[in-house]
Structure 1
Amino acid sequence: MTTTAPETRTVRTYRAHAHPAWRRILLTREMAVIALLVVVIAVALAVVPNFDSPLTVTYLLRDLAPILLIALPMTLIIITEEIDLSVASIVGLTSVMTGILTQAGWDFPVAAVAAILVGTVAGVINGFLVTVVGLPSLAVTIGTLALFRGIAVGLLGTTAITDFPEFWSDLAKDNIPGTPIPGIMIPFVVLAIVFAVLLHFTPFGRSLYAIGLNKEAAAFSGVDVGRTKFLLFVLSGTVSGFAGVYFTLLYSNARGDNATGLELSVIAAVLLGGVSIFGGRGALHGVIAGVLLIGTLGSALRLAGVTSDIINVITGVLLVLSVVSASFLAWLRSRRISAIGRKKGRTSSAAEPI
């Protein structure tokens, strides 16, 4: 009678999470940014004159509204390891189109929709060059940054259009009744909820992280990488167009150089909020906290009499520290994973029968 040795199977078990839930929620870069924001607000309330004034809240949120709006699609773009540097030029271009069409006698709502469509077309151009032609988004959007800004300045030159319907200008500047919160925060909150659900609770959002981590693997798993990125650039152009219309009404001014440099503030806030410049990581609540942190810190320092140059230096230091800390934490994580792998390898070797 032949005796057969029993079959030996290696059973792998995986823990769903490496750490307890409280640690995964609280010990994150996003929560660190939120905590820093709370500290800055508390210190400013204690030591900065007039920081607790309702007008401070109103002007702070008004000025941050374009950055908050544009940061929503920018977050999704950077998660996929792309970037859009043309957003501020799209704001300027749509501002100019809003002014020209209004001056030509168009009803303001129609002029605003047409201007937003111009922003959408600008996003289509970026998306086409990146996803169809296959050019790097950094190079493309540096080029379209100059192109869109050049068109905007060429249409108006050094002149400005300042005559807009009083009803719409007042609507852009009005607060929510009984509060110091500007009305623009209502569409922003609606958009933020839509983008948060899209990013964190849908297969589309999961595909964005997959693209950022490894676009080839994402493509093999069935994700249409090109179409997804194209859609993100179109969204970026559309939201930037909306921000351009709001910018025009808020300052009652349509100029070709409106919002110059705004793209740097948006990208700085996104990176400070925990989104990895290398893609595959980030959360929307961290980005919103990053925007508010930069804005609150700048507002408090201005009220304290600090010059703009010093504020820019502080903001730059924060951004550098956020990028360096992300790289350092990733290095520590890779070292820890390598150490665990070597330890498991030695344990497996020791357990092998002789």
Structure 2
Amino acid sequence: MSTALRHSERQIPDRLTRPAARALKSWESLLAIVAIGIFVLNAWASPYFLDPWNLSDASFNFTEKAMIAFAMAMLIIAGEIDLSVGAIIALASTVMGVAMTAGAPTPVLVLLGLGTGLACGAFNGMLVARFGLPSIVVTIGTMSLFRGISYIILGDGAFTGYPDSFAWFGQGYVFWVITVELVIFTLAALVFGVLLHRTSFGRTVYAIGNNSVAARFSGIRVDRVRFILFLLTGLMSGIAAICLTSRLGSTRPSIASGFELEVVTIVVLGGVSILGGSGSIVGVVLAALVMGLVTFGLGLLNVPGIVMSVVVGALLIAVIAVPRLWAMARAKSRKR
């Protein structure tokens, strides 16, 4: 056997195994391992965890937040952020509550929830894309604005008595333990996965996040893309408002408080760079599962809600800090 032939026999398997090796070293693979580990720990810690209906209930811990996280991931990849998503939910829920008290049927309530989300997203997008204002400043302002309107309308009160047909979105089941929310979550993951990874629009999002100036000079309509991304975030917040209001059966101005932190945590935990330019929908899906399993497992162990908030905050800091610390450690080792 010649040397060239022996060399080719060694090289072909190496080339074939490189994609698999890269996949095993990816952030998504790590998240999958973590999710499996948390699942096993929860099953060991609580005898009630593996009950199919309990697992179905566990999906409520992440589906509504993950719906928003898909749109937020694309927004952050493009170098922007929306911290008003929880307030958009509150305002959309309040608008639906006002319409419900006026006797509006379920289809009208759904349209109003979606329309309010889109209107809030368009308002954010106009301020950022049209007037060039920083998205973090704009959405901090609209976070107070949107929730403030809800407090003005409701005060310390609440809207209750939604029609039974409306409850289907947040409490209904499609088949056995498969909830309506879980189906919406799955469809949203597929739609945003295709949009980000299989379309030219998705490629423009990555281009803008990596270098918005170069993207603009290459002919990409940067402001238009940013506006569309804020619209998508508002739309998904409207869908989440419908599901959350339906599941709770009531509207209060404090609804969805803290959603901003958890949505951003899911996105960053999913491997989306907070600086923009990189990330995947698969990572966001896995991060949502991890967050849902963590919070549900702590709930089964009767851990107080404030402790869960501490865990979420610590997780966000760790996810941002660990890659940076790892890069610094590698740079020091190379210098040595």
TM value normalised by structure 2: 0.90
Task: Work out the CA distance in 2 between the residues paired with 1:123 and 1:314.
Answer: 29
* Counterpart secondary structure, 1:20: helix
Whether the aligned pair in 1 keeps the contact of 2:127 and 2:133 (CA below 8 Å) is: yes
Q: How does 1:172-187 map to 2 (within 5 A)?
A: 172-178=170-176, 180-187=177-184
> Residues 331 and 197 of structure 1: is their aligned pair in 2 closer, same or farther, counting only changes over 3 Å?
farther
Q: Which residue of 2 aligns with 1:143?
A: 141
Conservation of the 8 A alpha-carbon contact between 2:74 and 2:229: yes
* Structure 1 CA distance for aligned equivalents of residues 28 and 245 of structure 2: 32
Cα deviation code 1:104-143 (max 9, x no counterpart): 1222211220221111111011001001111100000000
Distance in 2 (CA, whole Å) between partners of 1:311 and 1:100 is 32
Equivalent residue for 1:292? 289
Gaps of at least 5 residues in structure 2 are 1-14
**Which residue, 227, 237, 242 being the options, matches 1:240?**
237
Give the Cα separation in 2 of the matches to 1:213 and 1:170.
42
Identity %: 35
CA distance in structure 2 between the partners assigned to 1:335 and 1:228 by the alignment:
39
The residue aligned with 2:186 is 189
Aligned 8 A contact 1:57 1:181 in 2:
no
How much does 1:318 deviate?
2.2
1:26-79 CA-partner distances (Å, limit 9, x unpaired): 211122112101110012112223111223212221232210111110000010
The answer to whether the Cα contact below 8 Å between 2:121 and 2:231 also exists between their aligned partners in 1 is yes
Write the distance in 2 (CA, Å) between the matches of 1:226 and 1:335.
40
1:12 is aligned to none
* TM-score, scaled to structure 1: 0.85
Q: Taking structure 1 as reference, are residues 279 and 304 closer, same or farther at Cα in structure 2, changes over 3 Å only? A: same
Paired position in structure 1 for 2:207: 210
Q: Which residue of 2 aligns with 1:271?
A: 268
Bigger Rg, which one = 1
Moved more, 208-217 or 225-234: 208-217
- 1:176 match: secondary structure: strand
Match of 2:224 among 224, 227, 239: 227
Query: Partners of 1:314 and 1:258 in 2: how far apart?
Result: 21
- 1:55-94 aligned within 5 A: 55-94=53-92
Q: Secondary structure at the match of 1:166?
A: coil
Please list, as runs of the form range in 1=range in 2, the aligned pairs for 1:1-354 lying within 5 A after superposition: 20-178=18-176, 180-329=177-326
Distance 1:333 1:198, change over 3 A: farther
Is the contact between residue 66 and residue 266 of structure 2 (CA under 8 Å) also seen in structure 1?
Answer: no
Structure 1's consecutive aligned runs of 4 or more residues displaced over 6 angstroms after TM superposition are 332-336
SS at 2:59's partner residue? helix
Aligned residue pair count: 320
Deviation for aligned residue 1:169:
1.0
RMSD between aligned residues: 2.0
Q: How many angstroms apart in 2 are the aligned matches of 1:93 and 1:86?
A: 10
The one-letter code of the counterpart of 1:131 is: A
